[in-house]
Amino acid sequence: MLSFVKNKKPMARIKAFSEDVVLNSAMNVFWNNGYEATSVRLLEKEMGINQFSIYASFSNKKNLFIESIKKYREYVKEHVFYDLLQENAGLAELELFLQKKVQKTNAVDGHKGCLVVNTAAEIGTKDKEIAREIELYYDFIYEIMTKVIRNAIAKGEVPADTDVEIQAGFFLGIMQGFSVASKTMDEKRLLDFISVAIKQIR
């Protein structure tokens, strides 16, 4: 009796790279150069993979950029906003956080600004999907500022009748403006900028 062997399904191709690692590289390329100025050839070079692999994993440049913004949000949550995400962070922690940002800005690579603020300036609302990621990032910062200001009220650092929503929006705007101003403004002016922002809420 003849026996028939069923054709086996082809095995899925195993990626020879870590998607997390190459995405981190892409994030830095976009952060340094912006969206429009970043070519696929540059992405190939910095990510260490070819165009086929980029498209196979991320479909196209725009999707790669969107994933890079999401990666950036994870990055700042862990490396930038960590102190403000602590349970009892209040006004003192916010002031120290902003002062530390001045120090980092004056470091070798500190003048890149914020990837999302840079993107908002470059693309704005021209692309709905990218604009949505910008909005989600701003919501993330707004939530942090809301928590910090509520803590500041509870700790007696600011008046009890402080309008939390208005101040959270104000400091969100401060963070956006700071990211742009820090590219060219000297340290003293940046520190004065912070001082005025903190004094107005006390």
Can you spell out the DSSP letters for 90-125? -HHHHHHHHHHHHHHHTSTTGGG--HHHHHHHHTTT
H helix or E strand, kind and range, residue 63: helix 61-79
Token pair 């349970």 in the structure block, residue: 87
Q: At what angle do helices 61-79 and 40-47 cross, to 10 degrees?
A: 50
Cα(182)–Cα(116) distance, integer angstroms: 15
Tell me the C-alpha distance between 100 and 82, whole Å: 12
pTM of the full structure: 0.84
- Axis crossing angle, helix 128-154 with helix 61-79, rounded to the nearest 10: 10
State the pLDDT at residue 118: 93
Domains, in order of start, for the chain = 17-71 (1.10.10.60), 80-202 (1.10.357.10)
**How would you write the pLDDT of the chain (202 residues) with one tens digit per residue?**
444 445 555 444 446 668 899 999 999 999 999 999 999 999 999 999 999 999 999 999 999 999 999 999 999 999 999 999 999 999 999 999 999 888 776 554 556 889 999 999 999 999 999 999 999 999 999 999 999 999 999 999 999 999 999 999 999 999 888 888 877 888 888 899 899 999 999 9
Query: Which residues, 6+ apart, have CB-to-CB distance to 114 below 8 Å?
Result: 175, 176, 179
Looking at residue 179, its pLDDT comes to: 83
Q: What is the spatial distance between Cα 138 and Cα 136, in angstroms, rounded to a whole number?
A: 5
Query: For residue 178, what pLDDT is reported?
Result: 82
Q: Can you count the helices (H) and strands (E) in the chain?
A: 9, 0
pLDDT of residue 105: 64
Quote the tokens at residue 54. 């980029």
Tell me what pLDDT residue 187 has.
84
**For residues 43 and 59, what is the distance between their CA atoms, to the nearest angstrom?**
14
**Residues 42, 164: Cα–Cα separation, whole Å:** 44
- Phi/psi for 89 (5° steps) reads -60, 125
